[in-house]
A and B are shown apart, each in its own frame.
Chain A
Amino acid sequence: MALKDITLGQYFPGNTPIHRLDPRTKILLTLYYIVALFTAEFLLTYALMFLALASGIAISKVGAKTILRGMKPVVLIVVITALLNLFYTPGTPILSFWIFTLTVEGIWAAFFMTVRILMLITGTFLLTYTTSPILLTDGIESLLGPLKKVRVPVHELAMMMSIALRFIPTLIEETDKIMSAQKARGADFETGNLFQKARALVPLLVPLFISAFRRADELAVAMECRCYHGGEGRTRMRQLKYTRADWAVIVLGLLGCIAITVMGHFGL
């Protein structure tokens, strides 16, 4: 098991127009996109959505291969959803055997559900592929800013997110180290059934948790030494700024989202 291969919300640095957009613009755009995707009804609207997505991918230069590779973990979910839709949608039956009935409506439903899930995942991937985690957290903090008025600890949540992201590689490294240490003492992580494997993780998780708590304690002291006292009166080195391109994209995206919803309403 190569733990170092695990990536979360992988980011591909680049300097395309999509990379340069303000993270808030991209988050808003992704939200419009998700809403539009669920209100889209039929071929025309889906084709338009697909066109938007494809041009986004093309501009971002992420590459179709990377996108397809990202799909791997969700294939199973997509297949199961498609099969359920295929056989359990009531309508005009075409084929029937044992407890399964294939209907015309089912084929359409399965097709659209598959397209919908795949496009949903691709769209959100495009966001994380083109936005660095730190900008993403900054963007979320800024977008959720108004919630501070109703006492939602927005700054604290964003801080927790960015510290979690910072410590993922450190903890992965540590896991590798503990695994080697336990293997050297005869621990077996590879063989056995599911339950035996789960039990084998105990000598890995206990030291990992203890060390994570110790790290958290030291980090808290180090943060206090650097005058951290919550979000109040805090400034940022990098300030997010909407450019003219951002406004254009936000307005166009919103119009597109409304158009798709209206078209969906008329069954297009």
Chain B
Amino acid sequence: MSGPIIEAQDLRFTYTNAEGVTPIVLDGVSLDIEEGSFVAVLGHNGSGKSTLAKHLNAILLPTGGKVYVAGMDTADQQKLLSIRSTVGMVFQNPDNQIVANVVEEDVAFAPENLGVPSEEIRRRVDEALAMVGMSQYATHAPHLLSGGQKQRVAIAGVIAMRPRCVVLDEPTAMLDPIGRKEVLGTIARLNREYGTTVVLITHHMDEAAQADRLVVMSKGHVIADGPPRTVFQDVEGLKAVGLTVPETTQLLWQLRQAGCDVPLDALSDEECAQVLSDFLTA
């Protein structure tokens, strides 16, 4: 891990909606994202997490404060293409991100836009499809694929740009459990095997628990930031902003409420079982 790839400094964002009201969506968010890390951003609807995501590759520009991507100011129009090819973005609905009617043509879209030579595009497309495990579908029509497969094609379409960081804005929200598992597996591999920085925006606790670092947002503020097992220990704090905790933490927390002396930092099912068995045998 070497230095932050994304730096947000006192980021503020407001806009005027149709009724003339000016809600403050982001209110002084400061956040450094280290290269190679896996960060989950957790928050309720309206917490500002998607707005934050859109600031990370200059889809939205801050109304106050600054965002730097690999040292480039996102407000700098000259650097727009380098910013967007450094930080790739995957959205909720795979149907609305796929441009072409053949899988490999779609994956080629971003490198084509960047003016990469043909043979190099071919290489990148094959590589990106292999990374998401979709090589055998290269010549298929996207509308015949399952939701999870489509979302993996969308991820391939982004990694074909060779971004150093990928931001995923609730990529599993429209998928069935199988599709969710496929996509989460792909994201984890992207981070561990290829060293890509991953920022996962989500409202699923168990997805957030997989990250190295967890940022919790509420009402435009960052209210907690740290390793998931530390953040989830503040059960009351999370409940106060309308979030739940993973089932394992919930169980241990309720036991503590009932007067049992169990630690709260067991996240996986195995860890939790171990903690319980230790407690019962002690």
Residues of A within 8 A of B (CB): 132-134, 162-163, 165-166, 169-170, 173, 215, 218-219, 221-229, 233-239
Contact = CB atoms under 8 A, between A and B. Distances in A.
A223 to B, nearest CB: 6
A228 B101 contact: no
Contacts of B57: 225
A227 B113 contact: yes
Given A134-B101, A169-B141, A234-B112, 16 more contacts: A165-B101, A166-B98, A166-B99, A170-B143, A173-B143, A222-B89, A222-B99, A225-B57, A225-B59, A225-B158, A227-B85, A227-B110, A228-B109, A235-B112, A236-B121, A237-B121
B93 A221 contact: no
Interface string B45-72: 0000000000001010000000000000
Contact of B91 (A170, A222, A228, A238): A222
Contact of B97 (A133, A163, A222): A222
Contact of A239 (B88, B104, B118): B118
B95 A170 contact: yes
Contact of B161 (A165, A169, A226): A226
Contacts of B198: none
Contact of A227 (B84, B104, B141, B154): B84
Q: Which 4 A-B pairs have the closest CB atoms?
A: A218-B96, A226-B110, A237-B108, A222-B97
Contacts of A165: 101
Nearest to B107: A237
Contacts of A227: 81, 84-85, 110, 113-114, 161
Consensus secondary structure, chain A interface: helix
A157 to B, nearest CB: 15
Interface in B20-48: none
B101 A235 contact: no
Contacts of B85: 227
Contacts of A238: 105, 118
Nearest to B57: A225
Nearest to B93: A218
Contact of A225 (B88, B108, B115): B88
B125 interface: yes
B102 interface: yes
B109 A226 contact: yes
B177 interface: no
Nearest to B59: A221
A226 B157 contact: yes
B116 interface: yes
22 contacts: A134-B100, A134-B102, A169-B141, A170-B95, A219-B97, A222-B96, A222-B99, A224-B84, A226-B99, A226-B113, A226-B161, A227-B114, A227-B161, A229-B81, A234-B115, A235-B111, A235-B116, A235-B118, A236-B112, A237-B121, A237-B125, A238-B105
Contacts of B95: 170, 215
B117 interface: yes
A172 to B, nearest CB: 9
Q: Which of A222, A225, A234 has the most CB of B within 10 A?
A: A225
B122 interface: yes
Nearest to A227: B113
Nearest to B100: A166
Contacts of A162: 99-101
A219 B99 contact: yes
A216 to B, nearest CB: 8
A229 B113 contact: yes
Given A133-B101, A225-B84, A226-B158, A219 B112 contact: no
Nearest to A163: B99
B16 to A, nearest CB: 19
Contacts of A173: 143
A233 B81 CA distance: 12
Interface in B211-270: none
A237 B161 contact: no
Contacts of A226: 84, 88, 99, 109-110, 113, 157-158, 161
A166 B96 CA distance: 10
A179 B99 CA distance: 26
A233 B89 contact: no
A219 B157 CA distance: 13
